[in-house]
Amino acid sequence: MPSTSDPASSAAGNAGVTIAQIAALAGVSAATVSKVVNGHVEVAAETRALVERLLREQGYRRQKRVSRSSLVEVLFHELAGTYPVEVVKGVERVVTEHGLTISLSELHGQHIPDRSWIDGLLARRPVGVVAVFSGPTPAQYQQLSSRDIPVVLVDPTGEPAHGMPSVGADNWSGGLAATRHLLELGHRRIAVITGATGMLSGRARLDGYRAAMDAAGVPVDPELVREGRFQIVDGLEHTRELLRLPDPPTAVVTGNDGEALGVYQAVYEAGLRIPDDLSVVGFDDLPPAQWMIPALTTIRQPLGEMAATAAGMVIDLAQGRELPQRRLVLSTELVVRASTAAPGR
């Protein structure tokens, strides 16, 4: 009789499928399948993906869950500025109520994790992951799901694939409200410096701007549409160019508060003033917005609430509860301060 420690004779899942049968289908050893089942990292990515797929298709169920750490992992594409601080505060508010702690990781400007992050996460065995402005590929998501590690996206960069739960903001309405505010003040030469339009939030904010202009019957001048990447330098460089136009804008909508800060610098360099010569609207309403001179009119994105909601969803999923909604969109709000006024010319 074979030893019970032999991976080829490991107990079958609920569907009666054994590791040996999965190994035969995959054309690999039973030991390799056992490593995949138990979360070991030393398996080639292609082999792991094949075994994971067969485990799902054959209905194999792990007999007992591996022990979990008390961590909720928060994944950022980059740790810079006040945006991550607001997110961490929101997550912490929820996880501490459940006796959990936060672990932070960064993708250094990338938006998709690489294999080293996935392998490290499997070794850490967190309760779950809150992925901010980033997220796993569908294959990576399935790999983590097979280990019972739930992932919830915050401010997703694109349409969440394969049913990944997510929490976002109403970016389209925010872009609409920002532009409509300027139109109501009497502006018609309204520029927009977008966030990265390859990302869902950037596209939606730009679409909101276009919708407001269209509804007001104001044609969009292509010269006034400038694509940025949510960086301060975008606001600086694009505004320098906009102010050199023969007919410069009287107002500008930016993709985020960082870009608005760049606009302020360009206006200062040109010897002009906000809002006398140029009205500016940001997006996010991070804490520094109210201390800019003049205080920034912006669209408030409820980052803390978004992060707290995502953390609660992760905990619910980790505890086996179904989510009533897998995709939540929270409202944005126009916050009027001193950076906007009627056009001065």
Distance CA 239, CA 192 (A): 10
Q: In this structure, are strands 251-254 and 101-106 parallel, antiparallel, or unpaired?
A: unpaired
Q: Is the pTM of the predicted complex or chain greater than 0.75?
A: yes
Least confident segment among 162-171, 239-248, 275-284: 162-171
Max CA pair span of the chain: 92
3-state secondary structure of 141: helix
Phi, psi of 314 (to 5 degrees): -60, -45
In a domain, 63, yes or no: no
User: By residue range, what is the domain housing residue 261?
Assistant: 171-301
Question: Is 46 in the same domain as 83?
Answer: no
Decide: 109 and 132 in contact? Cβ < 8 Å.
Answer: no
Split into its structural domains, the chain has a count of 3
In a domain, 262, yes or no: yes
41 pLDDT band, cuts 50/70/90, is low
Residue indicated by tokens 């019970």: 4
168 pLDDT band, cuts 50/70/90, is very high
Phi, psi of 330 (to 5 degrees): -95, 155
In a domain, 333, yes or no: no
Q: What is the mean pLDDT of residues 294-323?
A: 95
In a domain, 339, yes or no: no
Question: Is 320 in the same domain as 292?
Answer: no
Tokens of 241: 């160019």
**Is it the case that residue 176 has pLDDT exceeding 80?**
yes
In a domain, 64, yes or no: no
CATH number of the structural domain spanning residue 223: 3.40.50.2300
Tokens of 110: 């990338």
In a domain, 340, yes or no: no
Residue 105 parent element (H or E): strand 101-106
**Is it the case that residue 311 has pLDDT exceeding 50?**
yes
In a domain, 157, yes or no: yes
Question: Is 191 in the same domain as 236?
Answer: yes
In a domain, 286, yes or no: yes
Distance CA 298, CA 300 (A): 6
For the stretch 251-287, pLDDT in tens is 999 999 999 999 999 999 999 999 999 999 999 999 9
